[in-house]
């Protein structure tokens, strides 16, 4: 019998009432395993009602007691790691080890959030003026919301609500309708950790739910991760409705391979960063940029057998490098882009379009594909493929290699491989990209730093998690205080100065 996923509103599971559902597939078999309710505007407003009602209660809980809830939540995440990873893997298709990594990276933001009381401290200046003290305080915004993608159904919701609720806000999460069970389960565990009812609500939905979040005046801030076209829409619509918005979009992450690079390490890193999670990562390396044709020839020579030998298997197979794509629709989109690359004249060195798994022919599997001689005018270079496809785009020298990611419409992540510290330093300084790895293939910052790209990879002024996240989810209020003593000076019509 097909399982029916529920919303989580005001501390309890609630069946969907809109009458609209989306099938949730088992990507390995192609079978429908559940139905996700698509929240209508009324159901989203119920979640906002619950969050609005809970806000005064949660805000009044002092920071260290909120931190105790976060500590307990961290403990429950660790205790339930296997369950969460299995649930995530069953809906997304990630292999179990990668699914655990998804949960773990979210858990690390919860660890960071346990220490937020320190970051919520204001500043104080005694004697800023004659008998005047000045101080500031950070205060929560109110009801906040997150709109999260299918590719990290544990990590990205925790990036958002973990920081937000630790700051004293309440939260409404609209997860991807493709794999919403993990966010719902996270909300249950957060309640078990001691959070009051209504602090965290989860409502799977589509555009109707998104637009309700963007236009309801009670939502103070919206965080989003997804495609750039939707990120731009989220940013423009949310800002037009007076909300703070951070909207992370697409990516085309390059890896620059200098002539002095350790090619054995490069190939290992490109295989993992390009094909892990079937390429369904916004930080996947999708373009390798060897500097000089000699390096390009040797790189492709070494990559080809490694791509051909990739082990594509069931998510539960411990020997599989990666599992199926999330849906048949997404697999067809990736296939279509590979078809386009062939038409554009790129050299398809390894073709993974027609891979099937014996006994699981209806699953959404795809082998690894490798393109060579991709040029910057090709659509497969310009667009985010979001699948197990690596493109090799050659550069004649260092300057051209720096220009390629710098001039691209996306500016999420980039890496350089070299033994030359001066070249690495110059690259990190010059490249027009938000996150840089030096001999590191996936430069995702740790939780106490911040995640965010440039250009069409991010809309808004602040990054995810870290101190930037705390600033995003709080107002700063500055108080100038005087307790008069002695002779009154009378009225003054001059603006106060320190002269």
Contacts of 248 (CB under 8 A, 6+ apart): 224, 225, 226, 231, 282, 451, 452, 453, 457, 458, 459, 464
Report the candidate in 303, 272, 277, 308 with the shortest Cα–Cα distance to residue 290: 303
Q: What is the DSSP string of 300-330?
A: HHHHHHHHHT--B--TT-TT-SB---S-HHH
Residue 26 has phi, psi (to 5 degrees) of: -90, 105
Residue 42 has phi, psi (to 5 degrees) of: -65, -40
User: Cα–Cα distance between 38 and 430 in angstroms, integer?
Assistant: 45
Residue 300 has phi, psi (to 5 degrees) of: -65, -40
Contacts of 475 (CB under 8 A, 6+ apart): 138, 139, 140, 141
Report the candidate in 51, 44, 34 with the shortest Cα–Cα distance to residue 14: 44
Query: Any catalytic annotation for residue 282?
Result: yes
What is the DSSP-derived secondary structure letter of residue 285? Answer: E
Contacts of 492 (CB under 8 A, 6+ apart): none
Q: Which of 114, 144, 167, 282 is catalytic?
A: 282
User: Cα–Cα distance between 303 and 59 in angstroms, integer?
Assistant: 54
User: Cα–Cα distance between 292 and 297 in angstroms, integer?
Assistant: 9
Report the candidate in 460, 473, 406, 384 with the shortest Cα–Cα distance to residue 232: 460
E strand intervals along 280-407? 285-290, 347-350, 369-372, 389-392
User: Cα–Cα distance between 179 and 455 in angstroms, integer?
Assistant: 28
How much is the CA Rg of the chain, to the nearest whole Å?
Answer: 25
Residues annotated as catalytic are 282
């Amino acid at each position: 019998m097909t399982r029916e996923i529920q919303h989580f509103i005001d501390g309890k599971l609630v069946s969907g009432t809109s009458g609209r559902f989306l099938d949730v597939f088992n990507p390995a078999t192609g079978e429908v395993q559940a139905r996700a309710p698509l929240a209508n505007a009324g159901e989203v407003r119920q979640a906002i009602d619950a969050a609005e009602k809970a806000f005064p209660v949660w805000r009044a809980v002092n920071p260290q007691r909120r931190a105790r809830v976060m500590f307990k939540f961290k403990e429950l995440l660790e205790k339930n790691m296997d369950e969460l990873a299995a649930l995530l893997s069953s809906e997304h298709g990630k292999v179990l080890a990668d699914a655990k990594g998804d949960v773990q990276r979210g858990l690390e933001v919860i660890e960071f959030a346990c220490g937020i009381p320190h970051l919520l401290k204001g500043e104080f200046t005694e004697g800023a003026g004659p008998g005047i003290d000045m101080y500031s305080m950070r205060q929560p915004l109110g009801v906040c919301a997150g709109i999260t993608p299918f590719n990290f159904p544990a990590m990205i919701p925790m990036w958002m609500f973990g920081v937000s609720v630790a700051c004293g806000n309440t939260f409404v999460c609209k997860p991807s309708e493709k794999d919403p069970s993990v966010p719902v389960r996270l909300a249950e565990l957060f309640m078990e950790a001691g959070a009051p009812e209504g602090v965290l609500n989860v409502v799977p939905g589509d555009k109707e739910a998104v637009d309700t979040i963007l236009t309801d005046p009670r939502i103070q801030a919206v965080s989003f991760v997804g495609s750039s076209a939707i990120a731009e829409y989220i940013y423009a619509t949310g800002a037009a409705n007076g909300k703070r918005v951070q909207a992370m979009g697409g990516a085309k992450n390059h890896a620059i391979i200098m002539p002095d690079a350790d090619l054995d390490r490069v190939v290992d890193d490109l295989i993992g960063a390009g094909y892990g999670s079937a390429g369904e990562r916004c930080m996947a390396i999708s373009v390798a940029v060897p500097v000089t044709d000699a390096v390009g020839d040797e790189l492709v020579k070494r990559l080809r057998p490694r791509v051909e030998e990739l082990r594509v298997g069931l998510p539960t197979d411990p020997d599989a490098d990666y599992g199926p794509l999330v849906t048949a629709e997404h697999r067809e989109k990736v296939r279509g882009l590979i078809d386009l690359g062939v038409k554009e004249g790129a050299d398809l060195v390894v073709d993974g379009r027609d891979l099937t798994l014996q006994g699981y022919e209806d699953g959404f599997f795809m082998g690894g594909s490798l393109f060579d001689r991709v040029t910057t005018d090709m659509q497969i270079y310009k667009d985010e493929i979001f699948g197990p496809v690596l493109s090799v785009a050659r550069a004649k020298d260092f300057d051209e290699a720096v220009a390629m990611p710098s001039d691209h419409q996306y500016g999420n992540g980039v890496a350089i491989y070299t033994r030359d510290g001066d070249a690495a330093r110059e690259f990190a300084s010059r490249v027009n990209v938000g996150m840089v790895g030096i001999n590191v293939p996936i430069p995702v910052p740790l939780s106490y730093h911040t995640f965010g790209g440039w250009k069409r990879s991010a809309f808004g002024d602040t990054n995810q998690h870290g101190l930037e996240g705390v600033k995003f989810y709080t107002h700063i209020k500055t108080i100038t205080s005087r307790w008069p003593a002695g002779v009154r000076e009378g009225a003054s019509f001059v603006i106060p100065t320190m002269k």
